[in-house]
Amino acid sequence: MTETTPRPALREPVGTGPEGWPTAMELAGLIARREVSAREVLDGYLERIDAIDPALNAFCRVDHDDARKAAGEADARTARAAATGEPLPPFHGVPTAIKDLHPVRGRPLCSASNAVGSQVMADDAPAVKALRQAGFVFLGATTSPEFGTVSVTESARHGVTRSPWDLGRSPGGSSGGAAAAVAAGLLPVAHGSDGAGSIREPASFCGLVGMKPSRGLVPSDAHYMEGFATEGVLSRTVLDTAAILDELAAAPRTTWYEVPRPEVPLRERALRDPRPLRIGLVVQPAFPAEVDPRAVALARRAADLLSDLGHEVVDHRVPGLDPEWFTPRFDVLYATGSADTPVVDEEAVEPLNRTLRAAARRTDSLAYVTTVLELQWRSAEMYRAWDGEDGVDVVLTPTNPVLAPGEGALWEGQDADPWLPLRRAEETASLTVLGNLLGLPAISVPLVEQPGGLPLGVQLIGGRWQDGTVLSLAAQLERAHPWRHRRPAGLPL
């Protein structure tokens, strides 16, 4: 093709309508009604990935042949269902991708590290298995930073992942590849995981919906990082997120701890408005951080919109939330949690993770247990923000205290201070990590559109086991102030 030959127009994803790119639920309906085939849907996304992803680097692996085979099998099942009445799973034939930190049966897992190799996994992780049983077609793996440690998606193994809103900036992390892919219309939804904000932060930076569900609601291999970490999805609508969480929450439990399953399906909760709620506006970081005035203004604008919907909004504080107290205890837990990945070459681990792994080895069992107990005791005080005499139903915050960082900014100065990248990542996570510490449901939504600016979300944190309340409120905001039509400005999409 010569320079004067016009480039073929990039096709919209199959199922695109007046409201924008299709949701996972819409695609599942089209496939089940045989208005489109799973193979047509998949091929449309693969075409967009081949055209757009070289600029983004959202995927570290795209399984063209295996995905086409799976889509063909889905279409055969659709035909059988039409003839026999066999029920189809709720997301039958819908493409998605799994974050490259979580095992997928028959596929290599490298955790974005040159130190790990590429061992082929014998089985799916529990949440991945639940997504497969829900009918999703896996088309590959999305990028993350090494071991998912930081708030940007940059690694020595996979390079730099860029935001479709601004190619000079990060989409966030650690689920940054997933966020970039959904924001650019390369997937309808994508799997992610969140240990300090790693679903909500990239959702915020990429104009998406991202939810960390309640501790233990989604099955996992273990109670990872004392329950700080969990899995979920990044999407463009609250309803997609709610419906997928229903499938994840229904999966068999695999850990010691049982949690109450939602009495009403989360999808149903997202379809109806909540009762008038008492909402507390909090701009109180858990780590030492300066909250950008633009983020504060965004949260106050969200507070006004909530008031317009009939909710009571008050300025609020979380008792016992002390950054100077919390940071060293988080460091103990986080270093130990990021050190459990087996490696074949310790010298190939990136500098920050080498520092964390070394710190974990210096932490004896008594120091670790004492840290966990101290965090639990202090958490009892913090829960009073919701449960106390002046408690609220939902806490409202900016999702991030800062705008998305530029490429490489996180790593500057790490030769002089190997902890510096973690300190910068903690600053980014200083408003999201509270949900992980307390195990509370928390969602980031792209409520307020910044004229000519980068996306920045607002966060809703519910009380214990109040996933339905959070989703109902987020969906009410989405109906009143839709965001699905917005598209990134950084690429011709």
Contact 280, 312 (CB under 8 A): no
**Tokens 């983020």 label which residue?**
295
Dist. CA 303–CA 335, nearest whole Å: 36
Kindly provide the residue ranges of all beta strands, DSSP E only, lying in 309-429, ordered along the sequence.
Answer: 312-315, 394-398
Dist. CA 143–CA 113, nearest whole Å: 11
**Residue 323 burial by Cβ neighbours in a 10 Å radius (0-12, 13-18, 19+):** middle
Write down the catalytic residue from 99, 113, 212, 430: 99
Q: Which residues does residue 142 pair with via DSSP β-bridges, in sequence order?
A: 59, 99
Write down the catalytic residue from 198, 204, 220, 338: 198
* Residue 204 falls in the annotated catalytic set: no
Write down the catalytic residue from 174, 193, 220, 430: 174
Contact 163, 171 (CB under 8 A): yes
CA dihedral of 309, 194, 402, 384, whole degrees rounded to 10: 60
Contact 487, 258 (CB under 8 A): no
Q: CA separation (Å) from 352 to 156, 157, 214, 288, 390? A: 12, 15, 29, 19, 41
Q: Which residues does residue 406 pair with via DSSP β-bridges, in sequence order?
A: 169
Dist. CA 164–CA 294, nearest whole Å: 21
Q: Which residues does residue 230 pair with via DSSP β-bridges, in sequence order?
A: 194
**Tokens 């809703």 label which residue?**
460
* Residue 99 falls in the annotated catalytic set: yes
**Helices and strands (H, E) in the chain, number of each type:** 16, 15
Amino acid in the structure at residue 401: P
* Residue 174 falls in the annotated catalytic set: yes
DSSP assignments along 6-32, one per residue:
PPPPPPPPTT-BTTBSPPHHHHHHHHH
What contacts 168, CB < 8 A, 6 or more positions away?
A: 162, 406, 407
Dist. CA 43–CA 25, nearest whole Å: 18
Q: CA separation (Å) from 28 to 15, 65, 136, 387, 389? A: 10, 21, 9, 39, 45
Contact 356, 334 (CB under 8 A): yes
| CA Rg value for the chain | 21
Of how many residues is the chain composed?
Answer: 493
Dist. CA 169–CA 179, nearest whole Å: 13
Query: What does the angle CA 54 – CA 58 – CA 62 come to, to the nearest 5 degrees?
Result: 80
Contact 475, 482 (CB under 8 A): no
Pairing outcome for strands 108-109 and 119-120: antiparallel
Question: What residues are annotated to the active site?
Answer: 99, 174, 198
